């Protein structure tokens, strides 16, 4: 009497166990698929952002920690770069690099629509230019809208003087990645009021204690510059006086570094005796 009952219980247990194993296996498969999709997306996104690889028609597939790369590039160094990027993604243990090196390879013609990488570049340029204008002590009366399309920057809005307009254009043009600047700022002179003078005095009082902020902004301004190698310049600030040290390639680069530092809000003067020229 008890044997059939025990058999039915055992059968039920086996069925439940098989079902559990099947569900676990299914869950593991889904998890693996999600992981591989994430890895493929991460590799492809990095290619799209990389200026050396974005124009190439590269494809990526991932299977159990192995990335397979296909497509064409014009130099072997770019093929190796694609491999190293893939290996840098967490979970990728092996790369089957099937990318073909074709010296006369011509990348597909640029689309009328910006690529993902170009859109990110433009957004970065816009943020950089806006930051520079915000940090500048010479652009208090500036109300500028910044737009970037494939490295071409357009400035719209108002400036309270011709000098402020010209400076905004120079700051934008000197930013890394900028191809050209269409300076459409309209000069609308503004008469200072007592309230404006009070605000200016308050700002100067605050800036007396903002040495660390000044140092950070000067460093950032130099790093974002397309004509100054900011990595070669050491910056320190004491009571609003900025000291620049390092070696640059030319006198023009040195002069620009000094001008950029002096233009940062809160800077009272720039000491550049330690900033020398290699030649």
In tens, the pLDDT along 63-111 reads 999 999 999 998 899 999 999 999 999 999 999 999 999 888 777 766 6
**% the chain with pLDDT above 90:** 40
- Residue 227 pLDDT more than 50? yes
CA–CA distance, 260 with 214 (Å, rounded to integer): 12
- 196-204 mean pLDDT: 55
Helix (H, G, I), strand (E, B) or coil at 225: strand
User: Which CATH number belongs to the domain containing residue 81 in this structure?
Assistant: 3.30.1340.30
Over residues 215-233, the mean pLDDT reads 85
With respect to residue 6, please indicate whether it lies within any of the assigned structural domains: no
Confidence of residue 137 (pLDDT cuts 50, 70, 90): confident
Query: Which domain CATH number covers 236?
Result: 3.30.1340
Residues 121 and 97 in one domain: no
Please give the distance of CA 154 from its chain centroid, rounded to a whole number.
19
Query: How much is the pLDDT for 33?
Result: 85
- In terms of domains, do 224 and 182 share one? no
Q: Could you tell me if residue 12 is inside a domain?
A: no
- Name the more confident of 158 and 228: 158
Structural domain includes residue 19: no
Q: What residues contact residue 268 under an 8 Å CB cut-off, 6+ apart? A: 239, 240, 241
Predicted local distance difference test score (pLDDT) of residue 16? 53
Residue 245 — very low, low, confident or very high, per pLDDT cuts 50/70/90?
Answer: very high
pLDDT digits (tens, 9 = 90+) for 104-133: 877 776 667 788 888 888 999 999 999 988
Give me the percent of the chain exceeding a pLDDT of 70: 79
- 233 in a structural domain: yes
Residue 256 maps to a domain: yes
Q: Which pTM value belongs to this model? A: 0.65
pLDDT: is 239 or 29 the higher one? 239
* 22-59 pLDDT, tens digit each: 565 566 666 888 899 999 999 999 998 888 888 788 99
Evaluate whether residue 15 is within a structural domain: no
Comparing 152 with 17, the larger pLDDT belongs to 152
Is 174 within the bounds of a domain? yes
pLDDT in tens, 10-22: 555 555 555 655 5
In this structure, the answer to whether residues 94 and 139 fall within a common structural domain is: no
- pLDDT-derived band at 3 (thresholds 50, 70, 90) equals very low
* Owning domain of residue 79: 30-101
Instruction: Based on the fold, state whether residues 91 and 139 are members of the same structural domain.
Output: no
Claim to verify: residue 273 and residue 217 sit in the same structural domain: yes
Side-chain half-sphere exposure of 90, counting CA atoms within 13 A: 2
- Check residue 86 and give its pLDDT: 94
Please tell me whether residues 210 and 272 are part of one structural domain.
yes
List C-alpha distances in Å: 21 to 11, 13, 24, 28, 32: 15, 12, 5, 10, 16
Distance CA 173, CA 175 (A): 5
- Determine, yes or no, domain membership for 125: yes
- Domain count within the chain: 3
Instruction: Report which of residues 108 and 252 the model is more confident about.
Output: 252
Q: Are residues 180 and 129 in the same domain?
A: yes
pLDDT band of residue 205 (cuts 50, 70, 90) is low
Mark whether 242 and 267 lie in a shared domain: yes
243-272 residues labelled b (16+ CB within 10 A) or e (exposed): bbebebeeeebbebbbebbbbbbbbeebeb
Question: What are the pLDDT digits (tens) for 258-269?
Answer: 999 998 988 999
Name the DSSP letter for residue 188: -
Q: Are residues 183 and 220 in the same domain?
A: no
pLDDT reported for residue 168: 92
212 and 244 housed in the same domain: yes
pLDDT at 1: 42
User: At which of 74, 101, 128 does a domain end?
Assistant: 101
């Amino acid at each position: 009497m008890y044997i059939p009952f025990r058999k039915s219980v055992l059968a039920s247990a086996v069925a439940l166990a098989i079902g559990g194993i099947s569900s676990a296996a299914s869950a593991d498969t889904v998890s693996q698929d999600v992981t591989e999709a994430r890895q493929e997306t991460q590799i492809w996104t990095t290619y799209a952002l990389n200026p050396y690889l974005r124009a190439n028609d590269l494809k990526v597939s991932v299977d159990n920690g192995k990335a397979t790369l296909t497509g064409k590039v014009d130099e072997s160094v770019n093929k190796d770069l694609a491999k190293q990027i893939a290996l840098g993604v967490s979970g990728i243990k092996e790369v089957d690099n099937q990318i073909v090196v074709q010296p006369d390879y011509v990348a597909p013609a640029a689309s009328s629509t910006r690529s993902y990488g170009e859109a990110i570049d433009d957004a970065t340029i816009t943020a950089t230019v806006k930051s520079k204008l915000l940090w500048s002590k010479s652009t208090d009366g500036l109300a500028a809208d910044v737009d970037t399309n494939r490295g071409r920057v357009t400035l719209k809005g108002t400036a309270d003087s011709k000098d402020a307009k010209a400076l905004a254009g120079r700051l934008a043009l000197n930013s890394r990645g900028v191809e050209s600047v269409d300076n459409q700022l309209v000069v609308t002179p503004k008469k200072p009021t007592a309230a404006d003078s009070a605000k200016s005095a308050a700002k100067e009082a605050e800036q007396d204690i903002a040495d660390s902020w000044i140092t950070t902004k000067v460093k950032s301004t130099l790093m974002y510059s397309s004509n100054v190698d900011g990595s070669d310049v050491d910056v320190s600030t004491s009571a609003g006086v900025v000291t620049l040290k390092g070696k640059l390639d030319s006198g023009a680069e040195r002069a620009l570094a000094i001008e950029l530092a002096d233009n940062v809000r809160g800077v009272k003067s720039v000491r550049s005796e330690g900033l020398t020229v290699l030649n």
